[in-house]
Amino acid sequence: MDIVFVRHGKTRLNDLGCFIGNTDCSLSEEGLKEAEKVKDFLRGMSFDRVYVSPLKRTVQTANVLGCEYVLDDRLREMNFGIFEGLKYKEIEQKYSDYLRSWNQDYENYTIPEGESLQDVFNRVDNFINDVRNKHKRVLAITHGGVIRCALSLIFSSRAFFYKFKIDSGSVSIVEYDGDYGFIKGIYNSLDL
């Protein structure tokens, strides 16, 4: 069983370096071009089902791909709470105590008005376990943090989360055989 993960195309806020987990922003012109490249890359592949995060940037990516899809909240990006829409420097200035707590325990610390990375891992694990028993190949159009969680779960270690660079407009393919997952390929936007 394969899950093909696609990260949405770039947004203006991505370019500005803002935390945009649950911030509902649109694709930039460059992001739309990245989605077109993903469409070309996936041409000829068939999917039993396409799942999409309900945020605008992922829905726009799915619409460029021209596929029927089901919205799935489990594929949302991490909710960064009070950090949403801010650059790291702004967070340091405005919320230094919260940022320090998050940096000390990034897996378990719940950002005020947001969620913890552990919450995201739980959502992603639930999604994978749900779909891998129902289909042969699915497409999941989602976010960088969600894809990094999925890849880290293969190694049974959250420590790998920050070891993956998942570009906007990228494709990551994972094969599941029973309880085991295998990374078949990570194709960043320059590879497409």
* pLDDT given for residue 141 in this prediction: 99
pLDDT at 162: 82
Instruction: Set out the domains of the chain in order of their start, with CATH numbers.
Output: 2-191 (3.40.50.1240)
Report pLDDT for 113: 98
Is the pTM higher than 0.85? The answer reads yes
Closest CA to 14 of 57, 73, 68, 62: 57
Between 17-31, 114-128, 176-190, the lowest mean confidence (pLDDT) is in 176-190
- Sorting pLDDT into bands at 50, 70 and 90, what band is 158? confident
| Residue 173 CB neighbour total at 10 angstroms | 17
46 in helix, strand or coil? coil
Helix 117-131 with 144-154: angle, nearest 10 deg = 70
Distance separating alpha carbons of residues 31 and 146, to the nearest angstrom: 18
Q: Tally the C-alpha atoms within 13 A of residue 46's C-alpha that lie toward its C-beta.
A: 3
